[in-house]
Chains A and B, each alone.
Chain A
Amino acid sequence: MARRVPEVNASSTADIAFLLLIFFLVTTTMNVDTGLARMLPPMPEKNQKQADVEVKKRNIFPVLINMNDKLLVRGEPMDAMFLREKAKEFIVNPNNDPNLSEQDEKDIPLIGKYRVSKGVISLQNDRGTSYNMYMEVQNELVAAYDELRNNLSRSLFGKPFDKLTQDEQDAVSKAIPVRISEAEPKNVGGK
């Protein structure tokens, strides 16, 4: 008959587990990284000639931010609050206003014929612009595109853009391409 082995005292496992728990609480972070995702344009090749892409004036939506964080949109001073609506109006151009962006009818899978805007938003900032203001403007511009995409996906598929399948997302992205170009910054304010 086997000898009875005395039971190991388990009352300290709780303490050990607490120690481990506290170690992990201290050394780890929980923050989820969020931010505005953007693509930078590739550097032009050295021997490549700067081919001037002809863009009609009506297709450009210039947004300028100066060193005092003031906005100039299509030649008019503007508050950042109104930028989103203005940008949306420029991209969609529902009434075919000759001052707003041109539309190009294209055949897109899953959607069919859609008037794709040729508009480009051109963002230019000064070296003295504050990062806060820059992000606010970026956010408004991205929001304008996001809202348009969401509207389109709701009306076509009855779901917001991020709930669509990959194919549907591609189709909507093709219908409303994000075109935000950033010009080389000017150095007016010094610094």
Chain B
Amino acid sequence: MAKFSRKGKKELQAISTASLPDIVFMLLFFFMVSTTMREVTLMVRTNLPFATEVTKLEKKSLVSYIYVGPPMLQYQVKLGTEPRIQLNDSFKTLGDIRDFISSERDAMKEDQRPLLTTSLKIDQNTRMGIVTDIKQELRKASALKMIYAARRKE
């Protein structure tokens, strides 16, 4: 029974983990390339509406965001549930939009300024009143290129 006696003696070889770092680095690079940094912490809930005819936003550096929606739970004690405007990292009012747009413009390169696009991320249960006011402010700030953020519906 020579065949069987050999089995116990030979030890199982350990799997080489030398390529593990390479695999993980590959994953890492994939995520670094395909994702973007989170820039603001959302303080309002923006449950975006659905649309079928959506277009992709191409250059992220040319886009400034305006968030509108009811404040998150932790702010509701102070602010209630009426939709609020969030610019960058704080709650703002309508009057601040023009300053916001001009500061966004200043931060851009001169030749790219006309390409500034404003993305309105608005909760779907918001009433149009506040949206209209924002649009008027954008017109006054002559930031005419805009996009209504929406999720793709198939």
Contact = CB atoms under 8 A, between A and B. Distances in A.
Contacts of A38: 146-148
A132 B125 contact: yes
Contacts of B88: none
Interface residues of A, number: 46
A131 B147 CA distance: 14
Contact of B53 (A30, A36, A125): A36
B149 to A, nearest CB: 4
A81 interface: no
A173 B44 CA distance: 38
Contacts of A127: 127-129, 132
B18 A34 contact: no
Interface residues of B, number: 54
Contact of B56 (A20, A27, A33, A185): A33
Interface centre among A16, A30, A37, A136, by most chain B C-beta atoms within 10 angstroms, is A37
B129 A39 contact: no
Interface centre among B122, B129, B140, B145, by most chain A C-beta atoms within 10 angstroms, is B129
Interface centre among B17, B25, B122, by most chain A C-beta atoms within 10 angstroms, is B25
A146 interface: yes
A138 B146 CA distance: 14
Interface string B142-154: 1111111111100
Interface string A20-41: 1100110111101111111111
Interface of A: 10-11, 13-14, 16-18, 20-21, 24-25, 27-30, 32-43, 125-132, 134-136, 138-139, 142-143, 146, 185, 187, 191
Given A14-B24, A132-B125, A187-B129, 17 more contacts: A17-B28, A28-B38, A33-B147, A34-B54, A35-B150, A37-B145, A38-B148, A41-B139, A131-B123, A131-B128, A135-B50, A135-B51, A136-B49, A136-B51, A146-B53, A185-B132, A191-B129
Interface of B: 17-18, 20-21, 24-25, 27-28, 31-32, 34-38, 49-57, 60, 63, 117, 119-120, 122-129, 131-132, 135, 138-140, 142-152
